[in-house]
Amino acid sequence: MSTVAKAISLLEMLGQGEPEIALADLAKRTGFDKATARRLLISLIEHDLVEQDEGTRLYRLGAGVARLAMMREAQFPFLRTAIPMVEALATETGETVHLSEYSKRGLISVHVIESSKANRVSVPLGELLPMHATASGIAFLAFTEDRIRNAILGGPFPAFTPFTVSSAMALAEHVAAARARGYSIGSQGYEEGVLSVAAPILGADDLAMGTIAIAAPRARIHKGDIERHGASVMATARTISEQLVGRRGLPTRKRAS
């Protein structure tokens, strides 16, 4: 693993779970020896990406991370554009709504509004969403490049529940159905008892750059709800796309699965 990759893994670890963590715990969780972890942390501190509390000696993410995020958001205002509509959709449906964005690492949840109901679905911020096992992943695959879709269809297909898609043929069918209707439906593929619908957020090239999804306890969702939520999530995704790239209308169907 390169030095940059090691440093990034430390940042990602600091972004998960408790807000502050000790050096020994960081080293253990990343698999680095303490000397390596300390050296990387010192370098990250110099660039304001990590901070160390002078009293407790615990480490946390630094203000430089927010600065980089703001710089990126200024150039490509994905969150600033989408968040008001994510919040509106959560209010409309009363269910958990989450936004994801694609990077080379995969599809990552970047904003989550959880339902206020006691029985609700939780989606961790920063979670890498399995393409074959989530409604978000299937919606993304339905409107992505052939090379990305084909790579995922090549497997493997890790099983998260007894209902997880387990073959290329089954996944291709889900993807084709999502493309035909404009949104995907995921039932218990990643977590038992959860039903989700998701739609792609498209770029100027009509390819998915991310997704927006509604996730709810399966016991609370019926057929009419699926269709209603599907229409709402698709309309919201379309509006986000239009505001980001100025494109209007439904996605084209030229790249059939």
Query: How far is residue 71's CA from residue 183's CA, in Å, rounded to a whole number?
Result: 31
Tokens matching residue 192: 């038992």
Dihedral through CA 28, CA 31, CA 36, CA 41, nearest 10? -60
Domains and CATH numbers, the chain: 3-67 (1.10.10.10), 76-245 (3.30.450.40)
**Local structure of 170: helix, strand or coil:** helix
pLDDT (tens place) for every residue of the chain, 257 residues total? 788 888 988 988 888 778 899 999 999 989 999 999 999 999 999 989 999 998 999 999 888 887 877 777 676 678 989 999 999 999 999 999 999 999 888 999 999 999 999 999 999 988 999 999 999 999 999 999 999 999 999 999 999 999 999 999 999 999 999 999 999 999 999 999 999 999 999 998 999 999 999 999 999 998 799 999 999 999 999 999 999 887 544 444 443 33
Hey, what amino acid is at 256? A
Among residues 171, 167, 104, 102, the alpha carbon closest in space to that of 142 is found at 171
Q: Is the peptide bond before 77 cis (omega within 30 degrees of 0)?
A: no
Residues 157, 124: Cα–Cα separation, whole Å: 21
